[in-house]
Every structure is written in structure tokens, then in C-alpha cells.
């Protein structure tokens, strides 16, 4: 089968799809973790996935030997020529975009010209056959601003594997023992770790401890904010996430913007209650597994943490693990459905092309 040739059949008997994932940033984070799902045996049986680094600010996209092309980088004005050439140079491929980055909170905090930004999104998304939001909150915002045709828009929650988190013993909450809070992620203003450190200053050191895992440009500022507080520790770059979560009783995600919030999902899998901000895709993850807090104010975050009882935390811990019990199955099924749609669409496109060719031959 040539690079331009679509698969011959839809459904279960279709030719194994060739899929290329395009990404421009391979620093450890939610996007890179999310790429692991394509190695799942239930997906590799139907799709041969490859990851390729690209520079979307370049003028010419590659011609790819793929039935499906998935982009994981955020669109921008400078990437529009690349996206246009990607469509033109791969006319028979199914183009899918995963929106890992943009959210309503991000737009409100970052964008100067809302009209210009939304126009860019509309122009970029028109080039795709499907646009995937990583949370219902993000999808709701995209619908509200009419950035994408609602028929094209789907929601698929990310999955980075269990990483041993489902096997961790649950936290042991008991009166008189300090509650060990955990926070992990990129040291960036958007993650809100500065607010969490300020909240810790209003909490009794005998009752709350905090360990922060990660690295980034804001590390020195965060360490300076923590000062000499003995109940705040920095764990550095985390390679073994299960070991990190094992150190925590409760996980706090105080992000200012968060399309999905992989940390909240990991914490729930580990049976850790989650305290999350109101940002974007975070609230929909909580349910009975934690609480949603206005993290724009350190005093409000401190008050919410101080109000947690041992009984509440135990109930949240059980609910957290239960909430992720079927996550792997549902994520894989969602991706299988996406690739199944792609196969059917490509097969239909080929059938229409063959039908047109036959009609032209008869007419001749």
C-alpha cells in the first residue's frame, strides 16, 4: 500500500492503520506521558503508531506514509502554513488534533486579543477531520466560543498507564498524625505552587507537611517563598511517580489553568484524595474523591485544607481509587472507536473515489 493509499476496509477486518503522531516538545509532562497509550496491545493490534518530532513553525510539512496523522502541538498563527501544507501534502490521510494546551482559563489569563486568537483557532481546526478535547470542561469552552464544528469535536481523557499506582497501599489517616500533602508538576506560574506554599504558612506545621516534586524555571522563586519552613520539602525531578505518591496522603493541584490534570488522575489511581482548583478540566475529576477549592486565594485554600477531617479523608481515599477502576478500559475503548471511525471514513473515501473513476470510465 502506497503512502497515499487509504485502507481498503472499515470495521474489524480493515487493514492495520498506519498512524503518525507529530509533536514539537518532548519535555516530560502530560503530553509525553499521554503518548504511552498508543503502545497498548489493544491499540497496536489495529494501529501501527509512530511518533515524529516536527517544527510546526516551519513552512512545509512532511509527506507521510500514514493513514492517520495526529498532531499534539498547540496551533498558532505561525503554524498555519505548516498545517495547510500538512493537509495538501497528505490529501488521503485522516487528520486529527489533540488539544492539550488551550483552555478557557488560559485564554482569559494570556490572550490580549480574544477575537484574533479565536479566529486563529477556527482557521486551524478547519483543516482537521476531528478535534479531540482532553476534558469536558475544555470541550465546553471550545463549543461556547464556536472554535470548531461540533460534529468534529470529541472528548478523550488522557491515559499514561497505571505506573504501579493502582498497587500502592492507601494512605493511613489517624488523629494526631500530620497530613502529608503532595504536589507535583512543572515549576511554572500556571501550576499555582506559589499559592500552595503561601497557604502552608497559614496552617499548623504540626498538622501539615508538604512535599513538592518537579523542576522548572520557577524553582528558585518557590524555594525562596518556602524559606526555612521545616514542613516543606522539595523532592526534585520525579522519575518514579509511584514512590512519590507513596509519600503523600493527599494530593493538591492548585493550577491556574489545566486542560485535564494528569496529576489528579494519577493521585486518584493511587487512592489519594485530591484537592483541586476550579480551573478548566480539574473539577470534573473530583466527584467524591476530594474537593474543589478557589485556589486564587491562599487563605481560602488553607481554610479548605484545615477543615478536612480524618473521616472525610478516609472516604475520599476509597472513592478516589474506585473512580479510576475502569479508566484504562474506557480510554482504550475511546481510542479504538476513534481509529475505527478513521478507518471507516478512509474506506468510504476510497470507495467514492473508485465509484467516480468508474463513472468517468463509462462516460468516456
Contact 136, 144 (CB under 8 A): no
Tens digits of residue pLDDT in 182-224: 999 999 999 999 999 999 999 999 999 999 999 999 999 999 9
pLDDT mean across residues, the chain: 90
CA 321 to chain centre: 19
Tens digits of residue pLDDT in 286-303: 999 999 999 999 999 999
The angle formed by the CA atoms of residues 230, 183 and 103, to the nearest 5 degrees, is 145
Contacts of 1 (CB under 8 A, 6+ apart): 7, 15
Q: Which helix (H) or strand (E) holds 250?
A: strand 250-253
Tens digits of residue pLDDT in 120-148: 999 999 999 999 999 999 999 999 999 99
Strand partners, 53: 23
pLDDT of residue 64: 96
Does this chain's domain 17-160+327-363 share its CATH topology with 165-323?
yes
Quote the radius of gyration of the chain (alpha carbons, Å): 23
Contact 93, 60 (CB under 8 A): no
Contacts of 331 (CB under 8 A, 6+ apart): 37, 156, 157, 158, 159
pLDDT of residue 100: 94
The angle formed by the CA atoms of residues 100, 101 and 103, to the nearest 5 degrees, is 110
- Please tell me the distance from the alpha carbon of residue 245 to that of residue 111, in angstroms, as a whole number: 35
Q: Any idea where the domains of the chain sit in the sequence?
A: 17-160+327-363, 165-323
pLDDT of residue 12: 41
Place domain 17-160+327-363 in its CATH homologous superfamily. Glycogen Phosphorylase B; (3.40.50.2000)
Count of alpha carbons within 13 angstroms of residue 255, beta-carbon side: 25
- Taking phi first (over 0 means left), then psi (-120 to 50 degrees means alpha), and beta for anything else, what does residue 220 get? alpha
Of 125, 21, 19, 7, whose CA–CA distance to 72 is shortest? 21
Classify 165-323 by CATH class.
alpha beta
Q: Is the pLDDT of residue 169 over 90?
A: yes
Q: Is the pLDDT of residue 333 over 80?
A: yes
pLDDT band for position 59 (cuts 50, 70, 90): confident
The grid cell for 182 is 503532595
* Max Cα distance, the chain (Å): 89
The order of strands in the sheet holding 290-292 is: 232-236, 208-213, 179-184, 250-253, 274-276, 290-292
SS3 state at 251: strand
The grid cell for 234 is 522539595
Terminal-to-terminal C-alpha distance of the chain? 28
Q: Is the pLDDT of residue 29 over 80?
A: no
Of 39, 35, 38, 37, whose CA–CA distance to 24 is shortest? 35
Amino acid at each position: 500500500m502506497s503512502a497515499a493509499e487509504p485502507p481498503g476496509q472499515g470495521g474489524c477486518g480493515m487493514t492495520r492503520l498506519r498512524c503518525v503522531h507529530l509533536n514539537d516538545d518532548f519535555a516530560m509532562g502530560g503530553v509525553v506521558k499521554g503518548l504511552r497509550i498508543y503502545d497498548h496491545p489493544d491499540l497496536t493490534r489495529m494501529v501501527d503508531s509512530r511518533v515524529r518530532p516536527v517544527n510546526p513553525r516551519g513552512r512545509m510539512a512532511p509527506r507521510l506514509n500514514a493513514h492517520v496523522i495526529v498532531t499534539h502541538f498547540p496551533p498558532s498563527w505561525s503554524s498555519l502554513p505548516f498545517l495547510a501544507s500538512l493537509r495538501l501534502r497528505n490529501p488521503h490521510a485522516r487528520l486529527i488534533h489533540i488539544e492539550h494546551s488551550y483552555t478557557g482559563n488560559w485564554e482569559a489569563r494570556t490572550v490580549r486579543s480574544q477575537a484574533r486568537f479565536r479566529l486563529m483557532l477556527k482557521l486551524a481546526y478547519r483543516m482537521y477531520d476531528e478535534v479531540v478535547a482532553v476534558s469536558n470542561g475544555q470541550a465546553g469552552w471550545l463549543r461556547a466560543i464556536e472554535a470548531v464544528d461540533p460534529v468534529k469535536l470529541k472528548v478523550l481523557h488522557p491515559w499514561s498507564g497505571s505506573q504501579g499506582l493502582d498497587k500502592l497501599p492507601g494512605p493511613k489517616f489517624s488523629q494526631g498524625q500530620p497530613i502529608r500533602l503532595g504536589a507535583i508538576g512543572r515549576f511554572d506560574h500556571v501550576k499555582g505552587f506559589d499559592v500552595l506554599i503561601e497557604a502552608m504558612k497559614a496552617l499548623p506545621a504540626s498538622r501539615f507537611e508538604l512535599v513538592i516534586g518537579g523542576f522548572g524555571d520557577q524553582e528558585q522563586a518557590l524555594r525562596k517563598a518556602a524559606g526555612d519552613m521545616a514542613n516543606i520539602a522539595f523532592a526534585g525531578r520525579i522519575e518514579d511517580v509511584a514512590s512519590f505518591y507513596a509519600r503523600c496522603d493527599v494530593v493538591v493541584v492548585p493550577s491556574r489553568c489545566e486542560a485535564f490534570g494528569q496529576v489528579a488522575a494519577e493521585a486518584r489511581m493511587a487512592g489519594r484524595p485530591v484537592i483541586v482548583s476550579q480551573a478548566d478540566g480539574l473539577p470534573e475529576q473530583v466527584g467524591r474523591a476530594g474537593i474543589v477549592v478557589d485556589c486564587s486565594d491562599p487563605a481560602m485554600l488553607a481554610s479548605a485544607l484545615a477543615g478536612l477531617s480524618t473521616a472525610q479523608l478516609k472516604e475520599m481515599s476509597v472513592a478516589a481509587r474506585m473512580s479510576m477502576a475502569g479508566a484504562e478500559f474506557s480510554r482504550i475503548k475511546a481510542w479504538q472507536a476513534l481509529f475505527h471511525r478513521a478507518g471507516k471514513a478512509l474506506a468510504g473515501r476510497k470507495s467514492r473515489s473508485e465509484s467516480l473513476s468508474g463513472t468517468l470510465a463509462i462516460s468516456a
